[in-house]
Amino acid sequence: MGKNRRLKDGADKGAAAGDHCPSTVFVNNFPYSFTNSQLEETFSDVGPVRRCFMVTQKGSTEHRGFGFVQL
């Protein structure tokens, strides 16, 4: 079923009319001591956090000072 046909048939079957569309937020300038759990705790005041992660150095566990939060 192509894109044009979905538009003619109405709303996409994957999303109901009242569903919430999650937002992904880019965050940066974190100290290198910051952890994923601290990131989640920081944004939990805004709303329920679906997913969050800090981008790490390739081949290392140290993050690069930025990440993403999906609300």
Q: In the prediction, which pLDDT does 62 show? A: 87
Residue extents of the structural domains in the chain? 24-70
Token pair for 52: 């969050």
Q: What's the 3-state SS for 6-50? A: HHHHCCCCCCCCCCCCCCEEEEECCCCCCCHHHHHHHHCCCCCCC
Q: How far apart are the two ends of the chain, measured CA to CA in Å? A: 30
Q: In the prediction, which pLDDT does 38 show? A: 92
Q: Which residues pair with 27 in a beta bridge?
A: 67
Return the SS3 of 61: coil
The model carries a pTM of: 0.63
Token pair for 33: 């001591």
Query: Domain spanning 24-70: which superfamily?
Result: RRM (RNA recognition motif) domain (3.30.70.330)
Query: Low-confidence residues of the chain, pLDDT below 50?
Result: 14-15, 17
